[in-house]
A and B are shown apart, each in its own frame.
Chain A
Amino acid sequence: MVEILDNIDQREMVINMGPQHPSTHGVLRLELVLDGEIIKKVTPNIGYLHRCFEKYAEQMDDYSKVIPYTDRMDYVSAINQEHGYVLAMERLLEIDVPERVEYIRVIMAELQRIASHLLGIGAFGLDLGAFTPFLYCFTEREKILDIFERTTGARLLYNYMAVGGLMKDVHPEFKTDTADFLKTFRPKIKELNDLLSYNDIFIKRTANIGVLPKQVAINYGASGPVLRGSGVQWDLRKNDPYSIYEKFDFEIPVGMGEMGTLGDCWDRYIVRVREMEQSLRIIEQALDGLPEEGDVTEAVPKRIRPKNGSIYTRSESPRGELGYYIESNNSASPYRVKARAPSFVHLGMLPAISKGSLIADLVAIVGSIDIVLGEVDR
C-alpha cells in the first residue's frame, strides 16, 4: 500500500470517459490521464458491443445468411456494409451482376452515404453544443429512410442485397421519390453550411484541433473522410473502382486547411459535407442511366459453395475502407470472414492525435473521426 502511494504523481489524474457518455457515440470507454485539463494520454477501451460477428459468420450454413449480420456492424450505413460483402462474394465466385442491379446498388449506397454523413455531421455539431443543426439533419435523413423503407421494408437494417443481385426490385415510385429528394436536399446543404459549417463558434471549436498529418494518416491506415481531411486524394470509388463507379463523373473533396491547419477537425467535417454534394451528382447520373427493365434476382446463385480459395475486397463505406477477407474451403459455410472496419482503425489513431489537447477538444476529435461502435467491436 505504501509503495503504491509513493508512486502516485499527485498532479496527474486518471478519469474514465464512458462507457456511458453522450459524446462517445456508443459504448466506448476512454481512459484519460490528465494534467489539469490537458490530456497526457488516452487509452481507448473497446469491446462493450462485441458480438463476435466473425464467429457467427463461420457458423452459418450458407454464405447468404451472413448478410443480415453485416448490417449490424455499422448500423447507420447498413447498405454499404452489405455492398462490401456481396462484392467480395461476387469476386470470389466470379459472378457477373446485371446492370440494373449495379445501378440500384449505387443509388442505394450513395443515399445511404448521405444519410450516414447527415447523422455524423449532426451528432458532431451536437457534441459541440449545436443542437439545432442536428434536428435539421435528422429531418433530411428521415426522407432517405422513407425511401429505403418503401423498397426494403426496413428503416435501419435492410438485408437488401444478395450475392449476385438484390432481394427484390425497388418500389414503383422509387425514381420519382429519389428525384424529389435530390431536388429538395440540394438547398439544404447550403442551409447547413450557413447554420453550422461557417458558424464562428463552430470554427473556433474545430479549427486547429486534432491535427492529423498526411504521413501519420497513411501509416495508421486511415481511409475515407479521415484520410481525405488530411489532404490525401484517395477514394476507393476512384482509385480502386468497384461496381460501376467508373461510369460516373464526380470529384473527391479533400481538406485544404481553410480554417486552420491541414488535417484538423474542421477539414474532416467539411469533407463529409462536400461529399454529400458529390453523392447527389452520382445519384443523379445513376437515375438517368438506370435501365427500365431487368430481373434483379436472375444472377443470384441457388446454392453457394465456393472452392478452396480466399479473397480480400474493399469498398468505400461512409467511414472509409471497409474490407472483407473471406476464406472458403469447398463447403457451404465460410471458413473465415474477417471484416476490416474503418472505425476500428481510426479509433486506434486517437491516442496519437489527441495527446496534449484539452478534454473538451477530445470530444471534438472523437466526433470528427465519426466512429460507429457497432463496427469497432463487431
Chain B
Amino acid sequence: MKKPEEILEYLNQKFGEDQLTLERGDIGEPWILVPASMIRDLSKFLRDDSELRFDMLMCLSGLHYLKEEELGVVYHLHSTKLDHYVTLKVRVPVEEPEVPSVESIWKTADWHEREAWDMVGVVFDKHPNLKRILLPDDWIGHPLRKDYVQQEFYQGIPTGE
C-alpha cells in the first residue's frame, strides 16, 4: 500500500524527474499532473507493475477550464490487490484537445472516454469508436464546456423552454 507521494517517487525513478508533478488544492485530495503524451505508457506501467497493480479505473472525468483555455481529464485509479489509490490529471489546450486513449488498458475507459468527448470535447487518440454517447450524433457543441451555447433548434424542434 503506497501513498500518492510514494507512488510519485516510484514513478520518477522509472520515468525520470521533472515529468510528473504532485499537485494539491487547498482542500481535498492531491493528484499527479501528467503530460498528455505520456498517459498511455504511464497507465500501462501503473496497471502491470508488480508494486502498483492499478487494475481498476474507477472514474474518468472530462473538465473545461475556461480561464486557462484548457481541457482536463481526470483518472481515478485503485488497486484492488494492493488497496492504494492515485489520481492522475491531464491538461491539454482547447485548440489541440488530443489525449491518448487508455481504452486498451482498462475497458471501463471505452464509454467514459466517449462521454468525455461528448460532454467537453476531448479527442481521445486511438479510441476504437469515438463518437457521441449521451447526445444524438448530429448535436452541435459540447454542453459541459463553460462557454457552451445551446443550439436553438434540433432538427426543427425548439430546444429551449
- A interface with B by C-beta (< 8 Å): 46-47, 50, 52, 54-55, 58, 91-94, 216, 218-221, 234, 239, 306-312, 314, 321, 323, 325, 327-328, 330, 335-336, 338, 340, 344-345, 347-349, 352, 377-378
Contact = CB atoms under 8 A, between A and B. Distances in A.
Nearest 7 pairs of A and B residues by beta carbon: A309-B25, A221-B108, A309-B28, A309-B27, A307-B26, A338-B61, A340-B59
B107 A93 contact: no
Contacts of A234: 80
Interface string B117-131: 001000000000000
19 contacts: A46-B133, A47-B136, A52-B134, A52-B144, A219-B107, A307-B27, A308-B25, A308-B26, A309-B26, A310-B28, A310-B29, A325-B61, A336-B61, A336-B63, A336-B144, A338-B61, A344-B111, A347-B111, A348-B108
Contacts of B61: 325, 336, 338, 340
- Tell me if A's interface is mostly helix, strand, loop or mixed: mixed
Contact of A92 (B27, B119, B132): B27
A338 B59 contact: yes
Interface in B18-41: 24-29, 31
B140 interface: no
Contacts of A323: 58-59, 76
A310 B111 contact: no
A218 B56 contact: yes
A314 B58 contact: yes
Interface residues of B, number: 32
A378 B144 CA distance: 13
Contact of A50 (B59, B74, B134): B134
B143 interface: yes
Interface of B: 24-29, 31, 55-59, 61, 63, 74, 76, 80, 83, 87, 106-108, 110-111, 119, 132-136, 143-144
Contacts of B76: 312, 323, 325
Contacts of A54: 119, 144
A345 B27 CA distance: 29
A333 to B, nearest CB: 12
Nearest to A344: B111
Given A93-B27, A308-B26, A50 B107 contact: no
Contacts of A216: 107
Nearest to B139: A47
A349 B109 CA distance: 11
Contacts of B24: 309
Given A92-B28, A336-B61, A47 B110 contact: no
A55 B144 contact: yes
Contacts of B58: 221, 312, 314, 321, 323, 340
B26 A218 contact: no
